[in-house]
């Protein structure tokens, strides 16, 4: 699996009453992990892989939200 850094934009929300418009804007996010899957609509990144082939901490990021993907090199 390849190591990737994904820069993407996520929705931002706020609950509760507001006195005025607070200028809520989308959040800029960065995710670093192993590229598990990529298709026409999304990229799935995982943080953990066990020796039995199980995965944890998965996130599927819609390609429409992605600003940039960097493929990282692991030096040993």
| pLDDT for the residue numbered 1 | 86
What percent of the chain has a predicted confidence (pLDDT) above 70? 100
Comparing C-alpha atoms, which of 41, 29, 75, 33 is closest to residue 58? Answer: 33
> Is it the case that residue 50 has pLDDT exceeding 80?
yes
- Count of domains for the chain: 1
Average the pLDDT over 70-75 and give the result.
93
pLDDT at 68: 98
Could you list the residue range(s) of the whole structural domain that residue 10 is in? 3-14+23-72
Largest CA distance in the chain: 54
Band of residue 52 on the pLDDT scale cut at 50, 70, 90 = very high
Contact 2, 71 (CB under 8 A): yes
User: Residue 48: which of 62, 59, 39, 38 has the closest Cα?
Assistant: 59
pLDDT band at 47 (very low <50, low <70, confident <90, very high): very high
């Amino acid at each position: 699996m390849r190591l990737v850094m994904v820069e993407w934009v996520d929705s931002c929300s706020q609950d509760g009453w507001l006195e005025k418009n607070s200028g809520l804007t989308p959040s800029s996010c960065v995710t670093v992990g192993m590229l598990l899957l990529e298709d026409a609509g999304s990229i799935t990144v995982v943080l953990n892989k066990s020796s039995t082939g199980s995965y944890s901490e998965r996130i599927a990021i819609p390609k429409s939200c992605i600003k940039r993907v960097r493929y990282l090199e692991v030096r040993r």
